[in-house]
Amino acid sequence: MLHYLQIENFAIVEHLKLQFEKGLTIISGETGAGKSILIDALSLVLGDRADTSIVRQGCQTAQVNAIFSLPPIAQTWLKQQELDYGDECFVRRVINQNGRSRAYINDQPVSVQTLRQLGEFLIDIHGQHAHQSLLKHEIQRQLVDDMASDASLLEQVMQAYQHWLSLKTALEALGGEDREAKIAFLRYQLEEIEPFDLTALDSLEKEHSRLANAQKLLESSQMALSLLDNDETGSTLSCLSQANHTLENVQAHDSQLSNITNLLDNAIIQTQEAVGELRHYLDSMDLDTSRLQELQQQIATLQNIARKHRVRVADLPEHFEKLTHQLTELENFEENATRLKAELVEALQAYKIIAKTLHQERVETAQQLADKITAEMQQLGLAGGQLVINVTADEEASPSATGTDIIEFLVSTNVGHSPKPLQKVASGGEISRISLAIQVVTAQRSGVPILVFDEVDVGIGGGVAEIVGQLLKHLGEQRQVLCITHLPQVASQGHHHLQVSKSFDLQSTHIKINILEHKQRVEEIARMLGGIEITLQTLAHAEEMLQHSTL
């Protein structure tokens, strides 16, 4: 669950700290007071996209900090990412005025993608416009797939589709009117590279480095030789010989010196060998400027070719092999086309088998989901209403990553009427209630510990609104629920209540959030009940609603 949220210089929020508790927390306030900023900040700290507009005017950075307690699956994931910090997690997001952002989990820098992955274990946000997206067939398909008992089937279909698509693409690349043009172009590319011995790239670089630094190598080697052996007193070899001779004269008096003289003997021998190698190296060194120019020209040509082919010089051998393979495939068109066609038929058959299994799974899931949504609809003022989810396999459709099913939500809002597509039957208010029924059902299936509902009760009122509040309260007894609402019937059901207000001065706008006690809750619910003036009767009604919610 979410324990703590701190917001600094975010949108119109200058500084805000909030503690959160278990259960259903209501967030209310006048229209435009900034209630959704809390949800925006929570989304941001868990990986939502950021831009410069969220940084408070006149500030350099915006920052959001949050502390969560973690479900076991999130703890396991954090351990795998080496970000584990016990059963709590501290998350931070900083956005600069230039639009760049930094993200941290338990004070360790992470990518925004990592934040987003963590957020998937922690929170589900149901937005106020969810009923609009519900009309899209893709969203309807996702709702069914999200409720499936075997999520691996969709992944298997995706993999089968990718395999089929790769074979189809390879076959198309072989044929077509431009096959001869492709062959000619590949030959031209290979002829550019063929004159060069690509197996000798490493030795070419080493030889170039040696010749380019020949003068430095010569000077350093001569200096080293002079230090080791220059026939003058003080050279390394001379010093070693003198030291060895001095100790040999006295080692008869102490056998412990024998080991030292042996070491000096070895040092003298190795130094003499090093001197000999240095002399040989210097004698064989060739300051061949013409060869250096030749190598520089070869390397420059190779760099140009690599740039032309959009690869690194070091990758030219692999690139050459790839081009050769492509040319061979095209030149052996008949043989390869026959093979690919056979593989494509097998891949399509395998795809159809797994797609059919997915279809059967979807039919079962759709029936269960439709029954649960229909049951919730009865409570939300749609008595006699029915939701039907049609899952139809399009046998003629080309393979796709999500199978060949056409999934459509149909609804009947009156007894005796046959179900029809949502957008053709349901009004805006009815779609809102159906959407809420779907969200309640899917939220119960979701394993995340935090649920956020941002004005999902739009278009609902009266006794239905009270039922909505009861449903959210029931969810709050199982999970932590945050709900932004304008409805007093919903607000009265909360275990906790936050009031958002906005104030102004000559220079800026400020947001304040109060944690309401009982008396303050009565006043806020009375305000939500409406009217320019809050009367004693309105206050009494608000008090009654709060008392009724605890029964």
Find the helix or strand (DSSP H, E) in which 328 lies.
helix 316-331
* Alpha-carbon span 409 to 391, nearest angstrom: 9
pLDDT of residue 131: 55
* Alpha-carbon span 171 to 111, nearest angstrom: 39
Q: Is residue 92 pLDDT above 90, yes or no? A: yes
Region 141-163: what's the mean pLDDT? Answer: 90
pLDDT of residue 435: 76
**Phi-psi sector, 432: left (phi>0), alpha (psi -120 to 50), beta:** alpha
Q: Quote the DSSP letter at residue 418.
A: P
pLDDT tens-digit profile of 178-210? 767 777 888 888 888 887 777 777 777 776 777
What radius of gyration, in Å, describes the C-alpha atoms of the chain? 38
Give the residue with greater pLDDT, 252 vs 350: 350
For the chain, percent of residues with pLDDT exceeding 70:
93
Q: Roughly how many angstroms between the first and final C-alpha of the chain, as a whole number?
A: 26
pLDDT of residue 334: 67
pLDDT of residue 293: 77
Q: How far is CA 237 from CA 116, 216, 265, 273, 385, in A?
A: 67, 24, 11, 11, 104
Whether the CB-CB separation of 119 and 46 falls below 8 Å is answered with yes
Q: Is residue 348 pLDDT above 90, yes or no? A: yes
Q: How far is CA 462 from CA 40, 376, 495, in A?
A: 29, 17, 21
Whether the CB-CB separation of 275 and 229 falls below 8 Å is answered with yes
pLDDT of residue 427: 66
Interior angle at CA 425, CA 421 and CA 427, nearest 5: 125
Whether the CB-CB separation of 123 and 443 falls below 8 Å is answered with no
Q: Is residue 551 pLDDT above 80, yes or no? A: no
Sequence length of the chain is: 551
Q: Quote the DSSP letter at residue 59.
A: -
Which positions ≥6 away from 335 have C-beta within 8 Å?
none
* Alpha-carbon span 145 to 155, nearest angstrom: 11
pLDDT of residue 446: 65
* Alpha-carbon span 191 to 51, nearest angstrom: 49
pLDDT of residue 369: 92
pLDDT of residue 36: 84
* Alpha-carbon span 74 to 137, nearest angstrom: 31
Residue 8, beta-bridge partner list: 15, 63
Sign of CA dihedral 395, 400, 401, 406: negative
pLDDT of residue 249: 81
Residue 310, φ and ψ in degrees, nearest 5 = 60, 45
* Alpha-carbon span 219 to 217, nearest angstrom: 6
Q: How many CB atoms lie within 10 A of CB 193?
A: 18
pLDDT tens-digit profile of 407-423? 999 988 777 778 888 77
Please state the pTM of the whole predicted model. Answer: 0.59
pLDDT tens-digit profile of 219-242? 787 788 788 887 665 688 888 888
Q: How many CB atoms lie within 10 A of CB 481?
A: 23
Region 343-367: what's the mean pLDDT? Answer: 94
Q: Is residue 66 pLDDT above 90, yes or no? A: yes
Q: Is residue 368 pLDDT above 90, yes or no? A: yes
* Alpha-carbon span 170 to 188, nearest angstrom: 21
CA atoms within 13 A on the CB side of 19: 3
Whether the CB-CB separation of 517 and 460 falls below 8 Å is answered with no
pLDDT tens-digit profile of 450-468? 888 887 777 677 788 888 8
